[in-house]
Structure 1
Amino acid sequence: MTSRSIFLIGPMGAGKSTIGRLLSAELGLTFFDSDKVIEERCGANIPWIFDVEGEAGFREREQQTIDELTQRSGVVLATGGGVIMREENRRHLSARGTVVYLRTTVAQQLARTAKDKNRPLLQADNPGQILQDLFSVRDPLYKEVADLIIETDKRNPRWVVQELKKRLKVLV
């Protein structure tokens, strides 16, 4: 279809990793999950990186990883939910590929992330409020860089992939 890369952005629990793997298989592109790449390089999981280096340390690692991965062609890249908080990341994503915002509600995020202990920002008394606060800050930034926005609430990942394929053809 294209050697142009596709970058998936959106909040945690939107389905970026699942949809990214399916989409890359459908399109014959290489799949990367930026969080997994960071974990592999560090030899540690994201919560450990947050514990030891804080969010700022993690965001530094993330920025380096995004800069590198967005320079590749013909990839599908699932990013972490906070990737758009740094302007340099937003610039690289926008300039180097097609950006797809997988949008979901806070209720859906809660349902999808309830038992996931690998989400350091949610290890608190009120994860719903945290997700709502993150959505308020991040949603405008996701929209700013997105070439496409697709709602993932109550939608099967395979349906989302087929819808993306249709919409991406229009862009190419």
Structure 2
Amino acid sequence: MTGPVIPYAQRTIALVGLMGVGKSTVGRRLARRLELDFADGDDEIEAAAGMSVAEIFARYGEAEFRALEARVMRRLLEGPRIVLATGGGAILNPDTRAHMAQCATSVWMRADLDVVVSRVQRRDTRPLLRGRDPAEALRTLAEVRYPLYSLADVTVDLGLGAHTEAVETIIRSLRAFWKTQDAGDQP
């Protein structure tokens, strides 16, 4: 992908991280705080497919889900500046990673694996966890995905604090990053 170079502070903010880390919840609050629109990758995929993520996995399998996810991520990343909560596996696609590097400031929302496990056990809607021990499944996913998440522009460690605390931590981290990358306008 080629195109004009977009200053980091004017790019979409793409939140990456494991399922259950809080990308959607924190992303909505971050978008409000920055006065930007918000998009949840999984919601956008469901709207494009006319069915839930779980139904897509059940009917077409993970490979087809990932292909649809890549198309949706491309559209969102090439669109107007937003806060984007990506799906936990969106980063697996090399084209999505390249688009993210060109069009977004990426933020790895990292949390202790035990915190993530406790959150994902609350709902039975995650296809990659169905019929598996959530702790073991997340450890396996982390082994594969953490090296890719670590490519993010910014890494923010989150604890058990309030979502508003996470938002403020992300904003401080983004401002520090933008300051070192370009002289663009900051929120």
Do they fold alike, i.e. is TM over 0.5? Answer: yes
**2:99 is matched by which residue type in structure 1?**
H
Report the equivalent of 2:144. 137
* 1:115 shift after superposition: 2.3
Q: Report whether the alignment pairs 1:25 with 2:39.
A: no
* 1:73 shift after superposition: 2.9
Which runs of 4 or more aligned residues in structure 1 lie more than 6 Å from their structure 2 counterparts after TM superposition? none
CA RMSD of aligned residues (A): 1.1
* 1:84 shift after superposition: 1.0
Report the equivalent of 1:154. 160
Report the equivalent of 2:103. 96
Gaps of 5+ in 1: none
Report the equivalent of 2:175. 169
What secondary structure, in the 3-state scheme, does the structure 2 residue paired with 1:77 have?
Answer: strand
* 1:40 shift after superposition: 1.3
Which piece of structure 1 moves more, 24-33 or 105-114?
105-114
Report the equivalent of 2:64. 57
**1:51 is matched by which residue type in structure 2?**
A
**1:164 is matched by which residue type in structure 2?**
I
Q: Report whether the alignment pairs 1:81 with 2:56.
A: no
Contact 1:70 1:97 in 2 (8 A): yes
* 1:24 shift after superposition: 0.3
User: Quick one: percent identity of the two aligned structures?
Assistant: 35
Q: What is the distance in 2 between the residues matched to 1:159 and 1:153?
A: 10
**2:59 is matched by which residue type in structure 1?**
V
Task: Determine which structure has more spread, i.e. the larger CA radius of gyration.
Answer: 2
Give the count of matched residue pairs: 170
* 1:102 shift after superposition: 0.2
Q: What is the distance in 2 between the residues matched to 1:62 and 1:125?
A: 23
Q: Report whether the alignment pairs 1:5 with 2:9.
A: no
| Alignment of structure 1 residues 102-113 onto 2, 5 Å | 102-113=109-120
TM-score scaled to structure 2, two decimals? Answer: 0.87
TM-score scaled to structure 1, two decimals? Answer: 0.95
